[in-house]
Structure 1
């Protein structure tokens, strides 16, 4: 017996199917970009390789912002360096893990014409955003306190 049966997800229309495929392509591009970057040994600042300035929050207040280290975290993640990814930013590791799951899921859902395994997308979105926010803020508070 298969672990997944058609009809166990919310049906979607053609526009949503195309958006899911576009989302998958976007995620693939993000992972490809993260792989092309060299993780900064400091644990943050990898984004500067893209021509972006240093973190304004850290420059102004002398403490890292909640998202400091996320680009570095992704860059470590795509190399399988998950401990270094977590050291850079736990929220970045969590987001990378969720994105890694979403990548094949978005293509699969677009192909099947339903949100595979998801009956209530609003709840999934709320839990995902809430979880990511909580992990990122808690990680940041710990970083600032240390």
Structure 2
């Protein structure tokens, strides 16, 4: 994951995906969270507060699904 994050922050997206697609997905989520968290810290309240847990659950579940599928493919090709 570290290699993928390093490629991502340098703007080398294809290398990042090649290193670890789940980490690239996580880096994209983190990149999207930066403005939301900055606005939330500036105003002092979470923006928007509706269905926050549901959205977090969707993001976490999709990350885990991508990660499990990626490792399943890697193990399948290795054997």
Q: Same fold (TM over 0.5)?
A: yes
After TM superposition, the score normalised by the length of structure 1 is 0.50
Provide, for residues 15-57 of structure 1, a one-character-per-residue CA deviation record: whole Å limited to 9, x for no partner: xxxxxxxxxxxxxxxxxxxxxxxxxxxxxxxxxxxxxxxxxxx
- Where do 5+ consecutive residues of structure 2 fail to align? none
RMSD: 1.2
Correspondence for 2:59: 128
Correspondence for 2:32: 101
- Where do 5+ consecutive residues of structure 1 fail to align? 1-69
Q: Does 1:83 align with 2:14?
A: yes
SS at match of 1:115: coil
Provide, for residues 97-123 of structure 1, a one-character-per-residue CA deviation record: whole Å limited to 9, x for no partner: 000111221111121233224411110
Correspondence for 2:2: 71
After TM superposition, the score normalised by the length of structure 2 is 0.88
Which aligned segments of 4 or more residues in structure 1 are displaced greater than 3 angstroms?
none
Task: Report which of the two structures shows the higher radius of gyration computed on alpha carbons.
Answer: 1
The partner residue of 1:92 within 23, 30, 41 is 23
